[in-house]
Amino acid sequence: AQTVTQSQPEMSVQEAETVTLSCTYDTSENNYYLFWYKQPPSRQMILVIRQEAYKQQNATENRFSVNFQKAAKSFSLKISDSQLGDTAMYFCASASGAGSYQLTFGKGTKLSVIP
């Protein structure tokens, strides 16, 4: 079974600044996927960024990047040049690579971007 832990229930950041959200996970799999999802007040879960465990290179999507530390089982999300629209709940999630379709989510971090 996989577990995902987000230790920061709430965070805030000034507009245009950089913020890092933490996530640790536990899995016995060698092949797995990691994700960060954003949930704005509309409640729709939106995929922000994804990482394949066998790829050492950290994934990057525009202002969003991850720091994937496989040995430490850590998968943090860095948001650069924070914008007001980044205000949302952020969920870290994992999935087994062995044909699994289930996502295992952390409890989320509420991020507030302050103007």
Partner 1 sequence: GAGVSQSPSNKVTEKGKDVELRCDPISGHTALYWYRQSLGQGLEFLIYFQGNSAPDKSGLPSDRFSAERTGGSVSTLTIQRTQQEDSAVYLCASSLVRNPFYGYTFGSGTRLTVV
Binding stretches for partner 1 (CB under 8 A):
4, 33, 35, 42-47, 50, 52, 91, 93, 95, 99-108
Q: Which is nearer to partner 1, 11 or 80 (CB)?
A: 11
Least distance CB 28 / partner 1 (angstroms): 18
To partner 1, the closest distance from the beta carbon of 81 in angstroms equals 25
Residues shown for the chain: 115
Q: Which two tokens stand for residue 50?
A: 């994804």
The token pair that represents 109 in the structure block: 């971090």
| Closer residue to partner 1 in complex, CB, 80/89 | 89
- Closest CB 93 distance from partner 1, rounded Å: 8
Question: Bridge-partner residues for 20, per DSSP?
Answer: 78
Residue with smaller CB distance to partner 1, 57 or 102: 102
Q: Closest Cα partner for 23 from 39, 42, 44, 2?
A: 2
Report, in Å, the least distance between residue 33 CB and partner 1. Answer: 5
Residue 44: both structure tokens together: 């729709």
97: left (phi over 0), alpha (psi -120 to 50) or beta: alpha
